[in-house]
């Protein structure tokens, strides 16, 4: 390395972050004519240390070397003083056996959350969901842009067609009727799923299945069926009567009693809690895609 640097050209010398400036009237050195803009007059050293620089090249190299020497000396003092201050301020900190950084008084300065290092405060959403799906979605959007997402592979299409071909997703199945009653439609071309939320102001969500992986797609389809059953479970004409049941036979209590209403609400809540996470994530994705 040293030999290669010695036998090659020294190159352009930088003084003050730029090429050599004028040290005399309209010129850098008295050896050059006035207002000269040639590379030799602006600090370019054409020779190497092996061949030996000319006098003007030696001057330019000395300018850059002097600046580097002063800069190094000043920075050494500043960084040394700063290091001394940091060491003095942190001298009472130590890492204890539980991998927590504590001061001499025992106060915790830094710690690892649990055995896995996961912060539980960042692992839950605002409404008690196990994960904050909005944070995960923002991370996925930041890491991978929409344009890089590929379409569904043959394997995914095969899995979707297999799921949609089951009796509960056909026009003859009971769940298909419930899906239509609850404004949830699954098209037969395996390409889209449309949701018409009754709560919002006639908002129609059009969700392309190309954005989903296999497991997420199966969870979405199962969740739609659970939502349809959960919303209809309190109405025995829609859910229980086609199966030859009554609410009293199904739950063991009378329908109009307080206990019967509570049981029906619990059944509906169990299904709605599962699907609410899915629908919230779908709404966020649709807003980002459409916006």
Sign of the CA dihedral with 149 first, then 153, 155, and 161 last:
positive
Long-range contacts formed by 105-112: CB under 8 A, 24+ apart: none
d(CA 175, CA 225): 7
Nearest residue to 216 (alpha-carbon basis) of 145, 159, 168: 159
d(CA 52, CA 137): 63
109 and 166: one domain? Answer: no
Choose the final residue of a domain: 118, 134, 160.
Answer: 118
Of the given ranges (17-26, 126-135, 239-248), which has the lowest mean pLDDT? Answer: 239-248
Average pLDDT over every residue of 4-32: 80
Domain span at residue 99 reads 92-118
The answer, yes or no, to whether residue 97 has pLDDT greater than 60, is yes
107 and 64: one domain? Answer: no
Percent of the chain scoring above 90 in pLDDT = 0
3-state secondary structure of 81: helix
240 and 153: one domain? Answer: yes
Single pTM value for the model: 0.28
The more confidently predicted of residues 75 and 137 is: 75
51 and 106: one domain? Answer: no
Q: How would you class 67 by CB atoms within 10 Å of its CB: exposed for 0-12, middle for 13-18, buried for 19 or more?
A: middle
128 and 103: one domain? Answer: no
55 and 155: one domain? Answer: no
pLDDT for residue 80: 80
The answer, yes or no, to whether residue 280 has pLDDT greater than 80, is no
185 and 205: one domain? Answer: yes
Instruction: For 224-273, write each residue's pLDDT tens digit.
Output: 555 555 444 444 444 444 444 444 444 444 444 444 444 444 444 444 44
25 and 14: one domain? Answer: yes
Total domains, the chain? 3
pLDDT for residue 156: 57
Instruction: For 156-166, write each residue's pLDDT tens digit.
Output: 556 656 666 66
For position 10, which CATH number holds? 1.10.132.30
d(CA 276, CA 268): 12
């Amino acid at each position: 390395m040293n030999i290669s640097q010695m036998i090659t050209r020294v190159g352009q010398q930088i003084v003050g972050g730029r090429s050599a400036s004028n040290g005399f009237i309209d010129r850098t050195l008295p050896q050059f004519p006035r207002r000269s803009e040639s590379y030799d007059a602006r600090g370019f050293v054409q020779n190497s240390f092996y061949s030996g620089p000319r006098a003007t090249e030696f001057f330019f190299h000395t300018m850059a070397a002097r600046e580097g020497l002063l800069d190094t000396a000043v920075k050494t003092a500043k960084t040394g003083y700063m290091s001394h201050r940091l060491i003095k301020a942190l001298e009472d900190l130590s890492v204890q056996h539980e991998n927590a950084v504590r001061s001499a008084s025992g106060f915790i300065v830094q710690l690892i959350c649990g055995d896995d290092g996961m912060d539980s405060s960042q692992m839950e959403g605002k409404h008690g969901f196990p994960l904050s799906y909005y944070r995960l979605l923002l991370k996925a959007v930041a890491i991978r842009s929409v344009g890089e997402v590929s379409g569904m592979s043959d394997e995914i299409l095969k899995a979707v067609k297999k799921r949609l071909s089951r009796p509960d997703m056909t026009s003859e199945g009971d769940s298909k009727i419930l899906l239509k009653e609850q404004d949830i439609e699954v098209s037969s071309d395996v390409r889209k799923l449309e949701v018409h939320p009754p709560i919002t102001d006639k908002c129609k969500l059009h969700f392309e299945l190309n954005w989903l992986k296999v497991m997420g797609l199966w969870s979405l389809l199962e969740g739609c069926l659970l939502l349809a059953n959960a919303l209809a479970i309190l109405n025995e004409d829609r859910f229980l009567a086609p199966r030859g049941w009554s609410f009293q036979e199904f739950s063991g209590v009378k329908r109009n009693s307080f206990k019967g209403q509570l049981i029906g609400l619990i059944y509906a809540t169990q299904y709605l809690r599962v699907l609410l996470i899915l629908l919230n994530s779908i709404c966020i994705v649709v807003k980002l895609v459409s916006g």
